[in-house]
Amino acid sequence: MSARDRALGAFSGLALGDALGMPTQSMSRADIAVHYGSVATLLDAVAAQPISPGLPAGSVTDDTEQAVLVARLLIDGGGRIEPKVFAEALLDWEAGMVRRGLADLLGPSTKRALELLEAGVPPEEAGRTGTTNGAAMRITPVAIATPPELGALLDAVVAASGLTHNTSLGIAGAAAVAAAVSAGIDGADLPTALDHAERAAAAGAPRGHWSAGGDIAARIRWARGWVRGMDVPALADAVAEVIGTSVAAQESVVAAFALAEALGDRPVRALTLAAELGGDTDTVAAMCGAVLGAQHGLSGLPADLVAAVRRVNGLDLEPVVDGLLHLRSSAR
């Protein structure tokens, strides 16, 4: 399998997970069961969906849209994103969402950071309260553009995340996802890629301002060992009730890795299960989809579902991925 197939798999897996989780995002596990039953494929959002009511099956959310935004900024900037340019792009994106009448706007950490930046706070300080999963959900383009060696990878993660998530939790979560995806693109098997994610989270945490919360590297290590060998019902309970699926990085990022560990050979089941668990379902599924997409490649994902997501959202990922891979080859 080529690196290009794996990179396309990572970006397509992110979008597929996002779209599978779109109809259930921010709903409780019980409400998801009432309105949808099990999630086996792409679904229309019901009227009771709190963020995306009525959106058609296959629609993506902020996870994919912001990842595409980051990818384009990286390519245009030759591998670097200027903080002010990033801030303006995020605000323009949110304004576009408002014009479309959608409530899926900037997350709390990103919104607060941009407000602080507008008030004159330096870019390196604006993200010092960002502990949610916003940086991790949009980090896949950085992983595609950057080889997995920890030094350069962490520099790239901090550069792309520090404006909004300059905390131990925010950086560690983004570093874990980036490391697993980048290692997968280089051909690492799943255990090796997940081990690399643990190391990246541990090394990335000190790169941000300390924030209270369970250490992400330690939680990934514990969760992987705990869920290994669980059947699907036990896994669902473990992730929903103990690991957690909120926007907090130390919950949702860890949940994505737990699902990848337990269902790594069944990527679509990992993503549909993520969509059933409640909470930040679209982001958990998107992060898990990026990690497993890098393992299985575009050729290992269901072509009909990927094609539907691309068609519904007008996604043209090949030129974007090719631009990111050019940056990756230049960095070696």
Domain assignments of the chain as residue spans, ordered by start: 3-331
pLDDT at residue 89, as a whole number: 87
Q: How far apart are CA 51 and CA 70, in angstroms?
A: 23
For the cut 70, the answer to whether the pLDDT of residue 170 exceeds it is yes
Q: Mean pLDDT over residues 9-14, rounded? A: 98
AA letter at 310: R
Q: Band of the pLDDT at 193, cuts 50, 70, 90? A: very high
pLDDT at residue 327, as a whole number: 97
Model confidence over 109-141: pLDDT tens digits?
888 888 888 888 888 888 899 999 999 999 999
For the cut 80, the answer to whether the pLDDT of residue 101 exceeds it is no
- The Cβ of residue 50 has, within 10 Å, a number of other Cβ atoms equal to 11
Q: Which residues contact 99 (CB under 8 A, 6 or more apart)?
A: none
Where are the alpha helices (H) located in the chain, listed in sequence order? 3-21, 29-36, 62-76, 83-99, 108-118, 123-126, 134-137, 140-145, 150-165, 168-185, 190-204, 216-227, 232-237, 249-263, 267-276, 281-296, 303-313, 317-331
pLDDT at residue 105, as a whole number: 65
Give this prediction's pTM. 0.96
For the cut 80, the answer to whether the pLDDT of residue 67 exceeds it is yes
Model confidence over 204-251: pLDDT tens digits?
999 999 999 999 999 999 999 999 999 999 999 999 999 999 999 999
What is the residue-averaged pLDDT of the chain?
95
AA letter at 157: V
Write the burial class of residue 43 (CB in 10 Å: 0-12 exposed, 13-18 middle, 19+ buried): buried
> CATH number of the domain at 3-331, out of 3.90.1150.10, 1.10.4080.10, 1.50.10.10, 1.20.1530.20?
1.10.4080.10
Q: Point out which residues pair with 132 in neighbouring strands.
A: 248
